[in-house]
Structures are given as C-alpha cells and as structure tokens.
Amino acid sequence: MCDFCDQDVIQKQGIFFSDIAGIIYPQRPTIFGNVMIIPKRHVELFYELSDEEIVEMRNLLEKLFKGFKEKYHATGFNLINNNGKSGNQHVPHVHWHVLMRFDDEKYSPYDVLNGKVQRENISIGDEEWEKRKKQIIELL
C-alpha cells in the first residue's frame, strides 16, 4: 500500500483534507514551514492529476502561504515535485513539498537537504512535532 493512501499515516500526519486533496506534515520535516500537499486519490505522476485536483492543490497552497505570511511573515516558498523513480520520487503518490521561506531564516532548507546543516531530530509522537503540526493546522 502507498504511504499516502495508508489511513494510519493520514491519521498521524494529516493536517487538513477536503474531498479532493489534503495537507500532511512530513515525518521528518526539513524546516518548520515544510508541509506536503497530496491528492486524496492515488495518482503516481503529476500529469495524471485531474484539473480539479490541480486546482484544489493550488488552493491549499494559497491558504498555506497566506497563513504563513500573516502569522510568521513568510516572504516566499519553494514548491518541489518529483516524478518517477529516476526523478527521485520516493513515495509513488503525487505530492508537493512546500518549504516556506523567510527573509530572516537561520539557514536555507537546501542546506539541510544537501547535508550542510543537520536536520532537526524530531519524529512522530515527539512533543515538538505535534506542536508544529498544530501550529500549521491553526493557519487554515
């Protein structure tokens, strides 16, 4: 079964879901402002998404950015989508990695992804992980 279709994963990591798409908090976030947007329907590659799914995912991105901008003063974001095994897609279900960016950020999330800065050691069930998930839920 696909991780993003697994109801246990959705229960633990889910932040918000409409009938079409949702937002989940990564198991190992790169930075606080790191979330993933996924379609509810199992779709492996971006071009297989319906127009309705693309629009809903875009609308969720807008809500997230507006919330991060208003509450945490985000000034930009990175939107990353990997497609297929050779495209570095680890979970075969379309997902957009969203990394909120700030003018005064301590370090770039790309420094973490490239191993220049060590990733924070938080995990599911950890108090800090739950706190961050709740903070993001409040933005919607």
Q: How far is CA 31 from CA 15, 78, 99, in A?
A: 16, 12, 7
Q: How many domains does the chain have?
A: 1
Nearest alpha-carbon partner for 33 in 108, 111, 101, 85: 101
Segments of the chain with pLDDT less than 70: 121, 123-124
Question: In terms of residue numbers, what domain contains 94?
Answer: 3-137
CATH number, domain of 55, equals 3.30.428.10
Question: Which pLDDT does position 5 carry in this prediction?
Answer: 94
Do 20 and 52 meet the contact criterion of CB atoms below 8 Å apart?
yes
Verdict on whether the full-model pTM lies above 0.75 = yes
Query: Which pair of tokens denotes residue 71?
Result: 């509450």
pLDDT at residue 32 in the model: 85
